[in-house]
C-alpha cells in the first residue's frame, strides 16, 4: 500500500533463502570451480560459420557469451532456451552506489 523499508541484512537473508543454489544439487555443477552461476533464458543468438554470440537475461542482468557455433548447435541454444551461465573471473570489481 506504499513504500516499504527493509533492512539490508534482512534483504540479504531473504535473497540467500530464495537462491537457487545450483552448486549443491549433486549434478555436474558441484564439480565446477565457477561458483557464480546465474539461471536465465537466452534472448538472442547470432551465428556465423565459426563463432556465435549468445545474449542471456539472468534475473536483472544481461550477459553476453561468445562461443563456437558448434557448441551453440550441440546445446541447441535458441531464444527461449533455459540456461545456467557460469561466470569465472580472476578479477571482480565491487562498488557501492
Cα–Cα distance for residue pair 55/72, rounded to 1 Å: 12
Segment 62-92, tens digit of pLDDT: 999 999 999 999 999 999 999 988 888 777 7
Tens digits of per-residue pLDDT, 39-68?
889 999 999 999 999 999 988 889 999 999
Q: What is the architecture of the domain spanning 8-87?
A: Beta Barrel (2.40)
Burial 33-67 (b: 16+ CB within 10 A, else e): eeeebbebebeebeeeeeebebebebeeeeeebee
CA–CA dist 53, 22 (Å, integer): 24
- The pTM of this model reads 0.63
Q: What is the pLDDT of residue 23?
A: 47
Amino acid at each position: 500500500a506504499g513504500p516499504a523499508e527493509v533492512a539490508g541484512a534482512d534483504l540479504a537473508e531473504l535473497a540467500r533463502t530464495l537462491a537457487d543454489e545450483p552448486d549443491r544439487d549433486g549434478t555436474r555443477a558441484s564439480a565446477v570451480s565457477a561458483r557464480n552461476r546465474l539461471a536465465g533464458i537466452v534472448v538472442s543468438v547470432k551465428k556465423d560459420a565459426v563463432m556465435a554470440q549468445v545474449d542471456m537475461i539472468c534475473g536483472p542482468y544481461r550477459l553476453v557469451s561468445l562461443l563456437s557455433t558448434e557448441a551453440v548447435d550441440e546445446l541447441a541454444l535458441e531464444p527461449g532456451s533455459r540456461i545456467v551461465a557460469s561466470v569465472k573471473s580472476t578479477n571482480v570489481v565491487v562498488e557501492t552506489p
